[in-house]
Every structure is written in C-alpha cells, then in structure tokens.
Amino acid sequence: MLKYIAKRLLSSLLTLFIIIVVVFVLLRQMPIEGYFDNFDKLDAKQVDAKLTQLGLKDPIYKQLWSFFKNLFNGDLGLSSRYSKDTPITTLIANKAPLSIYMGLMSLAISLALGIPLGAAMARSKSGFWDKFGTVFIVFINAVPAAVYYIFIQMYGTDAMRIPMTFSRDNWLTWILPVVSMSLGSIASNAMWLRRYMLDEMNKDYVRLARAKGVSSRKLMMKHIFRNAFVPMIQYIPASILYTVSGSIYIESLYGIPGMGGLLVDVIGRQDNPMVQALVMIYSSIGIIGLLLGDLLMAVLDPRISFVKKDGAR
Amino acid sequence: MSETILSVRNLDLKFDLRGRTLHAIRDVSLDVYKGESLAIVGESGSGKSVFTKCFMGLNDINGRITGGEILYGGMNLAAFKTEKEWLRIRGREIAMVMQDPMTSLNPLKTVGAQILEAIRLHQSELDKAQAHKAMLDILSDVGISEPEKRARQYPHEFSGGMRQRVVIAIAVACKPKILICDEPTTALDVTIQAQILKLIKDLVREHDMTAIYITHDLGVVANVAQRIAVMYGGDIVEIGTCEEIFYDPRHPYTWALLSSLPQLGIKGEKLFSIQGTPPNLFTEIKGDAFAPRNPYALKIDYEKRPPFFEITPTHKARTWLLDPRAPKIEPPEAVRKLSRMEALSNG
C-alpha cells in the first residue's frame, strides 16, 4: 500500500511538473503587446526595458529555473499586472477562503440532497420520486445554468427581502449563491446514484440475498446502496477542485469576491506569474483529489488491490 | 412415496411485458414428496426456473399468478401478497442455489459475512460467537479448507467451484426444508460439476432436505434425481421416476430430448436435434404445445390439450398417443436403444 502511494505520488509530481513546464512555455509564446496597456505609444527602448524588468528577455530555461528556485523557497512571486507588485500568496489568501467555504457548503448540500434523492429514485423506480427526480434532472441539465441562476437571484432575493449583492456578514445572502451552486451537482449525484443502484439491483447477488430471506429494506441499505456508493465516492475528492476554483458566473452575479474567473482574468492580462501559480495550485488539488479518490475506492472495494497478495487471483 | 411437502395445484402464471401477456406457466400441477430428489428438466424458456421461483415469490413484479395454488405447510403460497409473508418462507423453509456462482455473491462483503447474514436471519437463537462458529462449521461442511482464513476473504479470491460451495453454504445455513438448485453446475467446469453435485447430494441427505433440481442436462438428472418432471412450453408433459423417464419414456418430447443426447447418437451420423422452435408463449397455445414440432402429432394434438394418462402410479404423460384410440407408435431408435441397455443391465 505505502509503496503504491509513493509510486502514485511520484507520478503525480511528474505530471505536475509537465503541466507547469508546458504552461510556462506556452505563456512565453504570447504576443508581447499583451504585456502593455499602451503598447502603441511606447518606443522600442521602453518596451525593451519593461520586458527586461518582467524577466522575459532571459532564455526560457533560465526563467524556468528561477521559477522553480523561488517555488522551493515558498515564493510564488509577485503579480505583474493583475494587481501590480502584490505577492501572489496574499492575493490568493484574500480570495480563496470565500470560494472554498461556499464550495464546501454546496458540496455538502449536494451530497445531503443528491444521495437521498438518487436512492429514493432507484427504490421507487417509475414511481413518484423517480418521476420527480427525472423531471428535476432533465430540467437542470437542459436549461442553461445561467438562466435558472438569474431566476433564483431575481425571485429569491425578492422573496427573502435581501439585497442582491453578497455580504460576508449577512448569512442570508449566502443562501442563494450556495443553493445555485449545488443544484447541478445534486442532479448529477442523484442521476449517477440512481443509475448505479439500478445496476446493482439487477445483479445475481441481490437475487441470492433475497432468496436467502433478506428483507427489501435491508437489501437496499446493506447491499445495493453500499455497493452503488463505491463508484461515486471516487469522484468526491476530485470535485473539491471545483470548490476552490469557484464559479465565475455565480460570483459575478452576486458580487462575491472569490476565485471564480480569476484564472481567465489573469490569462487575459498576461500576468504570467499569476497564471503559473494558479495553474500549479489547481492542478495540484486536482491531482491530489484523483489520488485520494483512488485510495478511498481501494479501501472500500477489496477487488482493487494495490499489491498482488500471494496466492490470490 | 412418503408424504407431500409441497403441492402445486393448477398453477397459472402470466407476465405482463409492454402491454403483451406472456403465459409462462400453464395450468401446472405437481406434488413434491418429503425427502425426495426431484429434477425438472426442459429447454431454455420452458418455464422451469419461473415455476420454482413461484415457490419463493422471486419472480419479477410483472409476473402474476393468475390461478391455482401452491400448498406448503398449511399455507397457500400462491395467495401471498406482502413481503412479510414471503420472508417466512424464503431461506427459512425453501432456499435456493443459483446458477452462476461468479455473480451470486456480493463482491464487497467477505464470504464469512454473507454466510453469517443467513445464519443470523434464520438461526436467531444463536449468539454472536455461536453464529460465528456455525458459519465456520458450514464452510468446512461444504469442503472449504482453512475456514477461519477463507471466511475473511472476498468472493474474488475464490475460484468458480469454491464460490458455488459458498453459495451452497449460504443456502444450507438457512436450514431450509426444501432446497431448490437452479442449474447448479451449468456455469462450472466439467471437472468440478461432479464434485458439486455430490456435495449437494450429501448435504441434502445429511440435513434431511427435499431437493428440487432444475436443469437441462440429462446427465445431471441421472446422477441426482429419483423423479423427473419434463417441462415444455410452460407445462409438465411427463413425470415419472428416473428409470421410467429414461427407459420407458412416453411423451414424444421426452423421446426427442433423449434422442438428442450425444451419448446415444450413432457414430458418423448427424446428431439428432428437435426441428422447429419452442412455442411462442405470447400467443395462447391450443392443444399440445409440442404438436408443431412433433413428427408423431395427431390431429387432436392441435385441438385439445391432452390429459395426463397414467402409465404406472408414479408415471404420467400428457400425450394423446397414450389414448387407447391412438395408433400404436414405436419410439425412436435411440430411445429403444436406451431401453435395451436397461434390459441388459437388469438381466
């Protein structure tokens, strides 16, 4: 097990390295005009001076080397254009917590509602809950999220008599964005759980368990639900990435100062240090999430074994 | 024969499939005697599996019993509606060994836990330690060595034959009166089949169970059964002791079944196969279901369902050929060969 984890960690590090290098090199291919607000008005000398200051004149391996050197010293560098000369760590530390709180809340809600809904749908196949859930899932998937986000904001703020803009200290203003954020994953959790549970229900071992006298309720809880939940659990850690990166649309709707859209923003402004830092953070979280998912899965499903035990198989 | 443990009277079962009705069991009656081994043989789709699932309420919900009764222990199982009623029967009175051991066990639970589940359900008087002990005993009873260690393992660590032993252990752990074995060896390696059959036979004797085997393998039947019921098109067409069915079969379908045994074929000649296809159970069958494929069919076979003609007190067949007015017909060569073999071995 430990050996497997070490191996996976090592290959994860390699993946991360490759991602960083590729992004680093690609960024250097951007047109240099992008680094200036008023490129047309500058002469060649001024442009040259600025590029030197940004460190873009050095050969690329040298730039890469100094990036990694700083990284190992825990220094992500300074933002070059997004918020000039502010340490990137400070910028992220200001924005990330809000996105993470909201994301985790919506993750909790989507599990707390999506899983019972999926289970109820599977249990009452073609009954009330199944029909209700199907309508909900189809609605969520068919209607563009932006449309129902706006409706939720319009009618929600009206009905609750709260301002449209988010404020950190008024907990009422947290509700609508978190609900909006959860709807999609409630639907997908319910949909997958229903599907996995129906798959399990048709398996022979369920028939055998019924034949030996296990009641339907116990069969659902102890056999079907448990087995259907295993494939779902694999994706939960990976979905934490979305909580960190935030939702660009919801955050802009409610004016939430979170991480949503930050990456797109800094790419547009060619803030190389910021892009590199964010890419690194997001991909690390993504990779760790996948790794955790695999580990959890292996703990729950004995058929996935890391090391071949002697004799078995 | 001894007393009747399970008695099926005129059972009728229909499946609703997308607005169409499939008449799966057509007016079937059968007595199962206490302590006997009965085999129900028939081709795929003849209804043998569906028929026995009626005894445990295990058919899908779109299958409904439309007539008849299943009498067991003073109860009419055919009238059971709720799960609560069935839970008194399932496992406790009637248990089942299913066809495919590779998929019959929950892959995420240890083998021990799955046997224990059955023990806790049906032997609730045992405390935790006793139940655990009982589980280990059953594991070694079904021929699994090192039960302590094996109980902690998962199904994927077992071979097919071993898993079928576990499935059998689960059925036996319920301490049922009747054990239904639904093609218990079909999915197994030929070399393992005989071992598993012997195991079931021994356990049935040891625990005083009544066994019902469902199979299409006449080799299996000859091995384990005292009585044979031949099913075709959702009906029992012939029933008798093992000897009667093998050496003195009367129904043309039984003849055809026996003739298609490779062991009875003549070397160099094409193996016998039954012409035509099984009846379409979506349409109501008139007369004898086998008539369209029966080279010996009489006109009346197409019109009126034959009654059971009694050949001996234990041997009955549903064919108009047994009517005194019917023309005398010689069974096919292969069947006569079988009878001669019997005469030889007896004389």
Q: How far is B155 from chain A (nearest CA, A)?
A: 9
Identify the helix (H) or strand (E) that includes residue A83: none
Q: What is the pLDDT of residue B158?
A: 93
Nearest CA in chain A to B59: A207
Number of folded domains in chain B?
2
Residue B212 domain-assigned?
Answer: yes
pLDDT band at B61; cut points 50, 70, 90? confident
Would the pLDDT of B147 be above 70?
Answer: yes
Rg (CA), chain B: 21
Amino acid (1-letter code) at residue B133: K
Residues B76, B150 within the same domain:
yes
Q: What is the pLDDT of residue B206?
A: 93
Residue B233 domain-assigned?
Answer: no
Residue B232 domain-assigned?
Answer: no
Domain boundary among B190, B225, B260: B225
Q: What is the pLDDT of residue B314?
A: 93
Residue B221 domain-assigned?
Answer: yes
Residues B221, B251 within the same domain:
no
Q: Cα–chain-centroid distance for residue B150?
A: 30
CB neighbours (10 Å) of residue A65? 12
Residue B240 domain-assigned?
Answer: no
CA atoms within 13 A on the CB side of A57: 8
Q: Tens digits of per-residue pLDDT, A112-150?
A: 999 999 999 998 878 899 999 999 999 999 999 889 999
Residues B162, B308 within the same domain:
no
Backbone angles phi and psi of B232, in degrees to 5: -150, 130
Residues B145, B255 within the same domain:
no
Closest partner residue to A208 (CB to CB) among B107, B156, B167 is: B167
Domain boundary among B225, B260, B278: B225
Asked if A211's CB is within 8 angstroms of B58's CB, the reply is yes
Please state the rounded mean pLDDT for residues A205-215: 92
Residues B180, B43 within the same domain:
yes
**Domains of chain A (ranges, CATH numbers):** 95-260+280-300 (1.10.3720.10)
Cβ burial A219-244 (10 Å sphere, 16+ → b, else e): bbebbbbebbbbbbebbbbbbbbbbb
Q: Is B300 on the interface with A (CB under 8 A)?
A: no
pLDDT band at B1; cut points 50, 70, 90? low
Q: Is A142 on the interface with B (CB under 8 A)?
A: no
Residues B221, B265 within the same domain:
no
Q: Tell me which residue of A266, A265, A268, A273 sits closest to A31, measured CA to CA.
A: A268
Residues B221, B252 within the same domain:
no
Which residues on A lie below 8 Å from B117 (Cβ)? 209, 212, 214
Which residues on A lie below 8 Å from B174 (Cβ)? 212-213
Q: Is B121 on the interface with A (CB under 8 A)?
A: yes
The residues, ordered by sequence, that sit 6+ positions from B165 with a Cβ below 8 Å of its Cβ are B142, B143, B144, B196, B199
Would the pLDDT of A310 be above 50?
Answer: no
Which residues on B lie below 8 Å from A302 (Cβ)? 107-108, 154, 156
Backbone angles phi and psi of B162, in degrees to 5: -65, -40
Q: Cα–chain-centroid distance for residue A255?
A: 20
Average pLDDT, chain B: 90
Residue B239 domain-assigned?
Answer: no
- Dihedral sign for Cα atoms in the order A11, A13, A16, A17: negative
Q: Helix, strand or coil for residue A46? A: helix
Q: What is the pLDDT of residue A188?
A: 93
Listing DSSP states for A185-218 in one string gives HHHHHHHHHHHHHHHHHTSHHHHHHHHTT--HHH
Strands B178-182 and B94-97, how do they pair?
A: parallel
Residues B157, B215 within the same domain:
yes
Residues B296, B165 within the same domain:
no
Nearest CA in chain B to A212: B91
Q: In angstroms, what CA-CA distances link B254 with B27, B237, B244, B298, B334? A: 19, 8, 11, 17, 12
Q: How many pairs of residues across A and B have Cβ atoms under 8 Å apart?
A: 75
Burial class (CB in 10 A: 0-12, 13-18, 19+), A218: middle
Residues B88, B207 within the same domain:
yes
Residues B290, B142 within the same domain:
no
Residue B73 domain-assigned?
Answer: yes
Structural domain of B46: 4-225
B25 forms beta bridges with B13
The residues, ordered by sequence, that sit 6+ positions from B89 with a Cβ below 8 Å of its Cβ are B55, B56, B57, B72, B77, B80
Which residues on B lie below 8 Å from A313 (Cβ)? 156-157
Q: At what angle do helices A2-27 and A272-300 cross, to 10 degrees?
A: 160
d(CA B165, CA B101): 9
The residues, ordered by sequence, that sit 6+ positions from A181 with a Cβ below 8 Å of its Cβ are A102, A103, A106, A247, A250
Q: In angstroms, what CA-CA distances link A131 with A216, A242, A296? A: 21, 29, 32
Q: Tell me which residue of A127, A114, A30, A96 sits closest to A240, measured CA to CA.
A: A96
Asked if B118's CB is within 8 angstroms of A207's CB, the reply is no
Backbone angles phi and psi of B313, in degrees to 5: -60, -25
Q: Tens digits of per-residue pLDDT, B231-274?
A: 999 999 999 999 999 999 999 999 998 888 877 777 777 888 88
Residues B73, B154 within the same domain:
yes
Q: What CATH number is attached to the domain comprising B86?
A: 3.40.50.300
Average pLDDT, chain A: 86
Domain boundary among B174, B192, B225: B225
State the ipTM, two decimals.
0.85
Q: Is B167 on the interface with A (CB under 8 A)?
A: yes
Residue B139 domain-assigned?
Answer: yes
Q: Tens digits of per-residue pLDDT, B162-172?
A: 999 999 999 99
pLDDT band at A311; cut points 50, 70, 90? very low
Q: Tens digits of per-residue pLDDT, A77-111?
A: 888 877 888 888 888 888 888 888 888 999 999 99
Token code pair at residue B32: 């199962």
Q: In angstroms, what CA-CA distances link A35 with A39, A44, A136, A151, A266? A: 8, 14, 46, 39, 11
Q: What is the pLDDT of residue A95?
A: 86
Burial class (CB in 10 A: 0-12, 13-18, 19+), A214: buried
Q: Tens digits of per-residue pLDDT, A44-63?
A: 888 888 888 888 888 888 88
Q: Helix, strand or coil for residue A149? A: helix
DSSP letter (8 states) at residue A87: B
